[in-house]
Amino acid sequence: MSTLSDLVLAQGRSSQADVDWLHMLVGDLQLLADLAFADIVLWVPSGDDAFVAVAHARPSSAATLFYRDFVGQEIKPQWRELVGQAYSSARIVDSSAPDWYEEMPTRVRAVPVMRRLTTTGTAVAPDPVAVITRHTNLGATRTASRQELTFNECAEELFQMIASGDFPDLGAPTGPRRGAPRASDGLIRLDVDGITTFASPNALSAFNRMGFDDELEGESLAEVTTRLLSGKLVVDESLPLVVTGRAPWRTDVESRGVTVSLRAIPIRHHGERIGAIVLSRDVTELRHQEQELITKDATIREIHHRVKNNLQTVASLLRIQARRTHSDEARDALTQAMRRVGAIAVVHDTLSEGLTQNVDFDAVFDRALLLVAEVASAHNTTAHPKRSGSFGVLPSEYATPLALALTELVTNAVEHGLAGQEGDVEITADRSSTMLTVQVRDTGSGLPEGKVGEGLGTQIVRTLIQGELGGTIDWHTVVGRGTEVTIEVPLRWIAAV
């Protein structure tokens, strides 16, 4: 499926600024469909008086006319003239007679999409960047309720603003926030003074749950909200601008344990504000879930932080014990244990810094490589570690055993392959969608007669790679000198990471 940017730019008639404007408009296409009780289709010019559909929104407040998606298709012949007129004249054009679609009478309105050039200025681009068509079903005609009439009036006002470049608003926040209110969640209509002229039942219910037990109509929404927040020490600074409809912002109002999200859409005519639409939604449960997630994330981070601290304490105790030990064999064993614990601590330190259980393994391994200098100094060796390629992001279930195994292999290369020498240890990572391949090479003396060691380090590496990660490991001597170890770890369980 092509993205909106791909579809628009493929026609060769639009600039990146046009695409950005259309992205903002598409973010509110569903709102237009719900307010208009109609299907909304966005068309961009494709040359030779033709147009291609790049977005389609079906109303959640009424039955859709089009069960098949138009996105990516050229405009149908019966709509081409109407859309062409709106595009060439930069004015709204209505169909003069009912348009029949699959034996269903419809009314079509074509709205040119004008792009404002600056946030504060009134200048617009000389030509429309696209055309919106509104397809209203005339087959299910009935007496409209007051809410339906108000919704339609709001839709008409937004269409007029689209045609004059006043909507979408460049001053609106970028990117929808989770839990953003929709028309069906609750709609409040304000006049230019911020007085409520209409409040849908869902909007009134949301304010009733916050403690307002009267009718919203005829009331100043700002005064109502102020009474609800009486005694609150901390209030969102954008709240006054939202409840008066003066700015296209969003905010949350919390009272009596109920949280209501508000979004203001100023209504303008010829650049002058004449009122506003305020969408409202009870997001109490949603905010509660978000708070639980934040708390759990903080708890997990704290656990990783404490595990890291405990591991570093264990490593310090092992280092102290190694210094006090008179047996060389015991000292080496304690030093190796200390190094292994330190490698695990690096992973937990990285986990404690983020909100996810995934880690940037390149950063983790670069920190683990710092242990090589300590190992080399203890064996009169000068080692030059080099890393190429990228491991990418790995979940902690992979990161911990892989970090420990690779630290073990690099340590072995320095301790045994380069003992008493100067040489290189090169680590190469190659990651595909299904496999992670890692090679550890050294320029040391190589394996004696091609045999793999049977020490504790080798057993640990085999257990981690083959047992925990389900991978394979192969040791062999490089022609000339040195040892090369190849690890292959399947990524079938983390394809989405």
pLDDT, residue 497, reads 43
Contacts with 70 (C-beta within 8 Å, 6 or more apart), sequence order: 41, 53, 56
Beta bridge partners of 51: 45
φ, ψ dihedrals at 79, nearest 5°: -105, -10
Continuous H helices in 325-413:
328-351, 361-368, 371-378, 396-412
Are residues 396 and 359 in contact, defined by beta-carbon separation less than 8 angstroms? Answer: yes
Q: 291 exposed, middle or buried (CB, 10 Å; 0-12, 13-18, 19+)?
A: exposed
- Residue 465 is predicted with a pLDDT of 86
Say how many C-beta atoms besides its own lie within 10 A of residue 357's C-beta: 13
* C-alpha torsion angle, residues 398, 400, 401, 405 (rounded to 10): 120
Candidates 206, 125, 212, 156; CA nearest to 38 is 156
Dihedral over Cα of 225, 179, 70, 168: its sign: positive
Query: 261: how many CB neighbours lie within 10 A of its CB?
Result: 24
- Closest to 182 measured CA to CA, from 368, 7, 28: 28
- State the pLDDT at residue 407: 82
The token pair at 248 is: 């296209």
| Per-residue tokens: 216 | 């919203």
Q: Is-cis flag, bond preceding 168, omega within 30?
A: yes
Q: Where in the chain is the domain with CATH 3.30.450.20?
A: 183-282
pLDDT of residue 21: 92
Element (H, E) at 289: helix 284-324
DSSP symbol at 430: E
Q: Which long-range contacts (CB under 8 A, 24 or more apart) does 98-103 make?
A: 98/138, 99/135, 101/65, 101/66, 101/135
- All residues at 6 or more sequence positions from 488 whose CB lies less than 8 Å from its CB, including other chains: 435, 436, 437, 438, 471, 472, 473
| pLDDT at res. 288 | 82
> Smallest Cα–Cα separation from 368: which of 317, 419, 402?
402
d(CA 457, CA 67): 63
Domain 4-164 in CATH 3.30.450.280: yes
pLDDT tens for the 497 residues of the chain, in order? 468 888 888 877 788 889 999 999 999 999 999 999 999 999 999 877 789 999 999 998 788 888 888 898 999 888 999 999 999 999 999 988 887 777 788 899 999 999 998 887 788 999 999 999 999 888 766 677 899 999 999 999 999 999 999 999 888 776 556 668 999 999 999 999 999 999 999 999 999 999 999 999 999 999 999 989 877 656 677 889 999 999 999 898 998 889 999 999 999 988 889 999 999 999 988 888 877 877 777 777 777 777 778 878 888 888 888 888 888 888 878 877 877 787 777 777 766 766 567 888 888 888 777 766 666 566 667 777 888 888 888 887 888 888 888 888 887 777 777 767 778 888 899 998 888 999 888 887 766 655 566 667 778 888 888 888 888 988 887 765 778 889 899 887 664 44
Residue 121 CB contacts under 8 Å (≥ 6 apart), including other chains: none
- Of 181, 184, 158, residue with least CA distance to 275: 158
CATH 3.30.450.280 range(s) for the chain read: 4-164
Fold that domain 183-282 belongs to in CATH: Beta-Lactamase (3.30.450)
Q: Is 129 helix (H, G, I), strand (E, B) or coil?
A: coil
Closest C-alpha to 72, from 87, 51, 57: 51
d(CA 119, CA 492): 48
* Cβ contact 184:202 at 8 Å: yes
- Contact predicate 468/410, CB 8 Å: no
CA gap 477, 483 in Å, rounded? 4
Separation CA 400–CA 378 (nearest Å): 25
Task: With 0.75 as the threshold, say if the pTM is over it.
Answer: no
Q: What is the CA radius of gyration of the chain?
A: 33
> Is residue 71 helix, strand or coil?
coil
Q: Within its chain, how far is the Cα of 200 from the centroid?
A: 32
Which parts of 210-282 fold into alpha helices (H)?
A: 221-228, 239-243
39 vs 42, 134, 258, 284, CA distance in Å? 10, 6, 34, 31
